[in-house]
Amino acid sequence: MHNFTSYTIHKAIFSPTYGTAHAATLVAEQLSLNISTEKIKKLDLTTPASRSSRYFFGSNDLVIVGAPVYAGQLPPVENLFRNLRGNQTPCILLAGYGNRHYDDTLAQMANIMMQQGFICIGAIACIIPHIFSEKLGSGRPNLSDLSRIAAFANALKPKFETDSFAAITLPGAAFPEKKERKFMPKSLNADLCTHCGLCAASCPTGAINKENGEIDQTKCINCMRCSVVCPAKARSFEADGIRSYLEENFSEPREIEFFL
């Protein structure tokens, strides 16, 4: 029979602007309070190169899979999490969203992970800073959120007292109708750009031309990764309309939800 401390925790995260990655770290820390830090592994799936390799997990692994919510769904990234393969491996789902709603995201993630050989034993929807607003989700997860994350982690641990796991039921649609992807206007300040190439190298979908920095709008998912990683602050998004709508309609702070 396993003991929870015998598991290695893997964080397999898609996180263009680091908000989901931060939330996943807090979840892992609360789960691993009595586990050696060597047993916590990080797997960043944000770049295309990181998703080109396959990763295999077994009965002594616990995988936390996390992604941000885009318009209530998983980011429209081809084969996201499909390079992970479990063998009846327990996993925890994490959706990071900017205070509007996570809608179908957890259900989508659960379906993918089940197909990949994992058993989804828990899920959590964390509020993180919204990429289009400095107000929505600002400072989240906060101290109050941390207490909710701790409660989630503590409620999960008894499931590891036996070697038998049961998949949880989640709200939302596993196969939602795909939403139209709209290209958000972006600008590049040529006076500030140093042509370092970091934006192109970091783009989750390979949408940025390495030679001239131009963005292919058929590939861009509006994740703002290029703006966040640019050391010269040469990249910017024109998001005033979306920002105003979100702040007018979704400013009331939401609480972290979890499912067991």
The pLDDT averaged over each successive group of 10 residues in the chain (260 residues) is 77 97 94 72 95 94 97 95 96 98 98 98 97 94 96 91 87 93 86 94 95 92 95 91 93 96
Question: Can you give the residue ranges of every domain in the chain?
Answer: 7-176, 186-247
The predicted model scores a pTM of 0.94
State residue 2's pLDDT score.
59
Cα gap 103→107, rounded to integer Å: 9
Could you give the angle at the alpha carbon of 71 between the alpha carbons of 25 and 139, nearest 5°? 40
Region at 243 (left for phi over 0; alpha for psi -120 to 50; beta for the rest): alpha
State residue 32's pLDDT score.
84
Among 98, 86, 76, CA closest to 20: 98
- The verdict on whether omega for the bond into residue 141 sits within 30 degrees of 0, i.e. cis, is yes
- Considering the domain 7-176 in this protein, what is its CATH number? 3.40.50.360
Contacts of 50 (CB under 8 A, 6+ apart): 43, 44
Q: Tell me the angle at which helices 143-156 and 19-31 cross, rounded to the nearest 10 degrees.
A: 50
State residue 106's pLDDT score.
98
Name the class of domain 186-247.
Answer: alpha beta
State residue 34's pLDDT score.
62
For residue 79, the SS3 value is coil
